Amino acid sequence: MNSLFSFLDKLQDYMKMVAAFCVAAMATITCSDVVLRSTINHPIFGSEELVSVCALLAMSFALPYSHKKDVHIGVEILVRLFSKRTQSIIKVFTDIVSVILMAIVSWRIFIFAGSMAASGELSMNLQLPMFYCAYILGVCFVIFSIFILKDIIIFFKGAKEER
């Protein structure tokens, strides 16, 4: 089990680097577009599409890292008033609901990507096949679900060790 967890940690590190690269690419494309537009009056063709794809990829690949750092938005004002045991129960319950929801979202994204691929849908300006992005998003949501499942396993493993 520890080798699986260490593999997931390495995978999360690689995904974080891809997300950081996508954010840097977004900034580079946007700055280059603004400079070219203002200096030679010639913007980068399709820069909006490229920035949108980079934003999708950055968000997708950053999901496990943001989960690990626990920076997702949460309603903790009320939960902080409860005891530590009640907080743990609420956390594991929300994790179980989250993993089910993320698995359903992943499944539906794969169905959507398949329909995009079957219809041959392309982006407006650059004619990029967008179903690849949808498949990548689906894979990232599956990995995100695995990370939530990892937290559930750790919770129950820790609860058994306390007994």
Per-residue pLDDT reduced to its tens digit, 87-146: 888 889 999 999 999 999 999 999 999 999 999 888 888 999 999 999 999 999 999 999
- Give the integer Cα–Cα distance in Å for 147 and 65: 9
Global pTM reads: 0.85
Q: Could you give the number of structural domains in the chain?
A: 1
Alpha helices in the chain, H assignment, sequence order = 2-39, 47-68, 84-119, 131-162
User: Do the beta carbons of residue 78 and residue 94 sit within 8 Å?
Assistant: no
pLDDT of residue 74: 66
Region 66-80: mean pLDDT is 77
Give residues with Cβ within 8 angstroms of 37, minimum separation 6. 43
Residue 14: which domain range? Answer: 2-162
Confidence of residue 159 (pLDDT cuts 50, 70, 90): low
User: Do the beta carbons of residue 29 and residue 51 sit within 8 Å?
Assistant: yes
